[in-house]
Structure 1
């Protein structure tokens, strides 16, 4: 993994949701639809980052859903100041963080949250950013019956087996420059997912880099246009597969 997992830009805005609990986990909750829900598995900055909460608010309003961002990182919070402080980013040991929150450790809580949400809603979608990408692909696995569609933006730590086991409509939001969703892995997705008999959308973002959809610079036109297009693509996906309309 790379430094672009731990750098980026803080967004201005005030989230409008509340804090609740899902499967015993502290959770940011926004929206009021009683039939449709979206689960977000955040990047390493977790459930408290304003950027993630603002995105959740957009999904809640524009995709007409109740949206959840649980704390899947056992209370560990990376302060948003690291986004724009190169020295703090340099000092942060990303691989040690990944070791503390690897798939075997965090997977059970992610599945537990998805199961509780599924028990309450008729339609459930999931979206994972960066580190959260592998998690939502696992939730979307054949036979799990936990979610109705999945989206991921610049996913990290994806195994090919998680890709070929997909069982629900899948959207990938892919920047041109991504050290985790490599050109080889992009090709694998685009060759193998269409063989699975599920709807598939590959959204390509030229000139953009890993992390843009959650930590892009809103003062840079290319990045601002990209993060808005990524948000709109996810909203359209959720509208289609959670409500049956675009």
Structure 2
């Protein structure tokens, strides 16, 4: 799910057999996966899940990758204990499932995570990275939380808010050319409107030949032809965070 106006189901992709290097903790009313870098850091990144939930190994792998690049990485359960979507679920019930899991209704959880990062982890500079459902969430946070120094929204887009182009945090948007969830005309509209209305730095980048979820749901060893795009997009993510955090 990446377009909250007309959401579409998406495939799980290549699920990693990956245990993770961090630990699960309780933060106020939610659980979270936290992984810290090998040396002390005051920079943190909130990693926001896709529809398959905060425990998806692919997403934890991305959090660990961020930690290996020097960031405190935290992946909270933004569904707050509710079941994530399962590939075996009936897609006809998707809209009903989504009703109480909106990526634009996460302020309480974000506030709790920010308090934890500042008070318990000593974070001074905080960014956000999100995939699919989480990409929508990052777009939303970039409109709501100027204290976030950078955002990376991967294949997620908001269409219904009047202020959706008035970003308060520098944001990188990454899209796939052959995304069945987000057609390119939506991306073009986003880019054109950001040019006219956005007061902060932004970038919109489309990866040719790629499909929805390619950055975190495709394994390079299984998809060697996609490997350059996967690696380039991840490097873009790291470079964007490094520029602003």
**More displaced 10-residue stretch of structure 1: 180-189 or 154-163:** 154-163
| CA gap 1:224/1:161 in 2 versus in 1, 3 angstroms | farther
Task: Assess if the C-alpha contact under 8 Å between 1:134 and 1:158 holds in 2.
Answer: no
Q: Post-superposition shift, 1:31? A: 1.5
Q: 1:19 corresponds to which residue?
A: 24
Return the structure number with greater helix share. 1
Q: Post-superposition shift, 1:61? A: 1.1
Q: 1:167 corresponds to which residue?
A: 168
Q: Secondary structure at the match of 2:54?
A: helix
Q: 1:148 corresponds to which residue?
A: 149
| CA gap 1:160/1:91 in 2 versus in 1, 3 angstroms | closer
2: CA distance between counterparts of 1:21 and 1:162? 33
**More displaced 10-residue stretch of structure 1: 161-170 or 113-122:** 113-122
Q: Post-superposition shift, 1:91? A: 5.8
Q: Secondary structure at the match of 2:210?
A: strand
Q: 1:102 corresponds to which residue?
A: 102
| CA gap 1:240/1:76 in 2 versus in 1, 3 angstroms | same
TM norm structure 1: 0.83
Task: Assess if the C-alpha contact under 8 Å between 2:167 and 2:199 holds in 1.
Answer: no
Q: 2:4 corresponds to which residue?
A: none
| CA gap 1:2/1:91 in 2 versus in 1, 3 angstroms | closer
Q: Secondary structure at the match of 2:182?
A: coil
1: CA distance between counterparts of 2:238 and 2:62? 10
Matches within 5 A, 1:229-240: 229-240=232-243
Task: Assess if the C-alpha contact under 8 Å between 2:25 and 2:31 holds in 1.
Answer: yes
Counterpart selection for 2:71 from 65, 68, 88: 65
C-alpha distance after superposition, 1:137-191 (max 9, x if no partner): 222126x333001111000554353531211211011100224433232112211
Task: Assess if the C-alpha contact under 8 Å between 1:28 and 1:70 holds in 2.
Answer: yes
For structure 1, the residue ranges without an aligned partner over 5 or more in a row are: 83-87
Q: Secondary structure at the match of 2:95?
A: helix
Q: Tell me the matched-pair count.
A: 233
Q: Post-superposition shift, 1:114? A: 3.6
Q: 2:35 corresponds to which residue?
A: 30
TM norm structure 2: 0.83
Q: 1:74 corresponds to which residue?
A: 80
2: CA distance between counterparts of 1:111 and 1:182? 32
